[in-house]
Structure 1
Amino acid sequence: MSEAFLISAKPDLQQARVEWLKRLDGERRLSALTVTAYERDTRQFLQFLTGHLGDAPGIKDIADLRPSDFRAFLALRRRDGAGARSLGRGLAGIRSFLRFLERQGMANAAGVSAVRSPKAPKGLPKPLTAADARKVVSGEGQLAEEPWIAARNAAVLALLYGSGLRISEALGLTAGELNGKSAGALRIKGKGGKTRLVPVLPVVAQAVGEYCKLCPWHLSPEEPLFRGAKGGPLQPAIIQREMRKMRAALNLPDTATPHALRHSFATHLLGRGGDLRAIQELLGHASLSTTQVYTAVDTSRLLEIYDAAHPRA
């Protein structure tokens, strides 16, 4: 049976849809998975319209659609269990099809353009356990062949967990900002040019000092502190790759990334009674609501412990 007979649409709309899918696959060179998803999403939409309008839709019916028609489709999909990401992708496919029809002079895409994509809920940060974080920053599981590179990696990871830095902030440090610093605070310029003070714990300073002692390159005060194997500025991808290796060596979850160490910094501080406002300042968040996500992480962890340990759970 040909695809045309499987689609709830009049012949004119069926043919336009076939042409649109061909262009997606050919001219726009979208991935096969995206084209398949768009095909499925528009098929579901046309099936919905058949019931919604009382007959298989044609191009004239598509041209007359209002924002409320698209919202009714999204509401039905949500009742069927579709999440925000699925709904957003489905709406993107329908928009693409309507805009194709608009370019062909067959319909107006204003109706679907007026509908906002559902906001996907932000996933909770996935911190490491305190024990796993200590393994990572201690250098356990390091596979680097050269001692100075192993020390460099350990120093970077210590800054992410011990000071809550983003990887870009750690790698943006100059030798003059941190080389030889014992303990105290470090001034960091983060997102949006916001400057904050972060702690430099003795154990972090020690890790950086060990790297500086072993580094074969001259570390001028105004130049990058962390160097690649050939002496240039260290790239984030190198640390990310090393973290992937450590995940395998230490049997850590896939969520154990360099950025997860920053999440761990905040979560572990909060779990030990840290003040939310102070953690906001340490992380450089402009809004307290951004930091509040860590309260959900901590509560979630407490409930996990309760379920695992309580005899009546």
Structure 2
Amino acid sequence: MKNRMESITSTDSHALAHLESDPYAAALATWLEGKPANTRRSYAGALRDFLASTERHPAEVTPLDVALWKEGLKARGLADSTIAQRLSAVSSWYTYLQRPQADGQPLHGHNPVDGVDRADLEISPYDRARKVNPEDFRRLLAVIPADTVAGARDRALFLWYVLCARRRSEVIGLRGRDLRLDGQRLMYRVRLKGGKVKWKELPPPVWAAVQGYLELAGRTLHDDAPLFVATVDAGQHLRAYYGATAPDGEQPLSGEAVSQALSRYAARAGLNPEQITLHSLRHLGAELFQKAGGDVRQTQLFLDHAQLNTTQIYLEQLTGEEHRHWQAMANALGVA
């Protein structure tokens, strides 16, 4: 049973397609297939951990199994936000199983996660949000070498993450076809959560940095070419060992490589690498945009949040809640 469930929760949804003998496996493959790659890996990892802990087939899972798993995650020291995310992934799958399947009938009649109290995990999704302040970002840029291809590339990337406040995957996956001129403005195509696509203006300083990188690298950007590519072939030794052939053409830079580069620059600048992340650059961009415009609705559109209250929570966690009346209250008490 355990081996079968491990195969069912493979992170590669294509590898699940042949498991037609188990309808739950087929349903999982279909469910994962329609999700972005990062979400697919995260959800599959949560399902794998859950099913390994219960050692039950999904059809046999009870609310008690879910509750015990939740307590086990707490005992392992996972953050409440992480536990909530994993419970949400399992719940989402069981919700999918309650939809009519190919025969018109639901595969599963109830969601076992619904029977588990999650009130103690109800925290802000941005309670741990951190931002880089502008001075720290200037220090970061100052240590990036301007005369190397990797340095020019990384400077362009980090400026993009701040001035456009994008998520990691929304930038590193861009290709030549995702850029276009619209009059005097350069536009870029961003693929958002949920599969939506938007064209957004690229600030001139970012485009100037990208052009500097491409010129230094001697690259001509074609439609199918990745915008940002690796300068080192990290896989060449493994391919040589296994006798594998190299992939054709330029390969896009990985998110992990960008994160590692950011950590190196942070350490070089005397900053804490654990607090300087790609998402903290997005946080900085969000706060700068809000300060420049002062309109939460415009900031929501800028960040592409689906709900306005998400943006409000986001900004409150980054800037803190203002106490507008402390002076009058202190005056009333005579302690001003």
TM bin (shorter chain): 0.5 to 0.7
Tell me, yes or no, if the aligned pair for 1:195 and 1:284 is still in contact at 8 Å.
no
Shift of 1:299: 4.2
Match of 2:195 in 1: 193
In 1, the alpha carbon distance for the partners of 2:201 and 2:113 equals: 50
**RMSD across aligned C-alpha pairs, in angstroms?**
3.8
CA offsets, 1:37-96, max 9 Å, x none?
xxxxxxxxxxxxxxxxxxxxxxxxxxxxx99xx9xxx9xxxxxxxx9939x79xx9xxxx
Distance 2:157 2:286 in 1: 17
Query: Are 2:238 and 1:234 equivalent residues in the alignment?
Result: no
Count, aligned residues = 207
Q: Which residue of 2 aligns with 1:248?
A: 267
- Write the letter of the residue equivalent to 1:247: A
CA contact (8 A) 2:161 2:281 kept: yes
Any stretches of 5+ residues in structure 2 without a counterpart? 1-48, 54-62, 72-77, 88-111, 234-249, 327-334
Q: How far, CA to CA, are the matches of 1:178 and 1:276 in structure 2?
A: 28
Q: Which structure has the larger Rg over C-alpha atoms?
A: 1
Match of 2:302 in 1: 282
Query: Residues 243 and 179 from structure 1, CA distance in 2 versus in 1: closer, same or farther, beyond 3 angstroms?
Result: farther
1:133 corresponds in structure 2 to 137
- In structure 2, what residue type is equivalent to 1:272? A
The 8 Å contact of residues 161 and 262 in structure 1, kept in 2 or not, is answered as: yes
Give the letter for the 1:246 counterpart: Y
User: Is 1:196–1:284's contact at 8 Å kept on the other side of the alignment?
Assistant: no
Q: 1:120 to 1:162 in 2, by over 3 A?
A: same
Q: 2:215 aligns with which of 203, 213, 216?
A: 213
Note the 1:122-161 alignment, pairs <5 A: 122=124, 123-136=127-140, 139-142=141-144, 147-161=148-162
3-state SS of paired residue (1:291): helix
Q: Secondary structure at the match of 1:196?
A: strand
Q: CA deviation at 1:177?
A: 3.0
- Percent of pairs identical after alignment? 27
TM-aligned CA distance change 1:175 to 1:121, over 3 Å: same
For 2:306 and 2:226, the matched residues in 1 are separated by 27
Per mean C-alpha deviation after superposition, the further-off stretch among 232-241 and 247-256 is 247-256
The amino acid that maps onto 2:255 is: P
Preserved CA contact (<8 Å) 1:143 1:246: no
Q: Which residue of structure 1 lines up, in the alignment, with residue 312 of structure 2?
A: 292
Instruction: Say whether the 8 Å CA contact 2:161–2:282 is kept in structure 1.
Output: yes
What's the TM-score, normalizing by structure 1? Answer: 0.56
Structure-1 separation of matches of 2:316 and 2:221: 42
* TM-score, structure 2 normalization: 0.52
Contact 1:270 1:276 in 2 (8 A): yes
Distance 1:225 1:300 in 2: 37
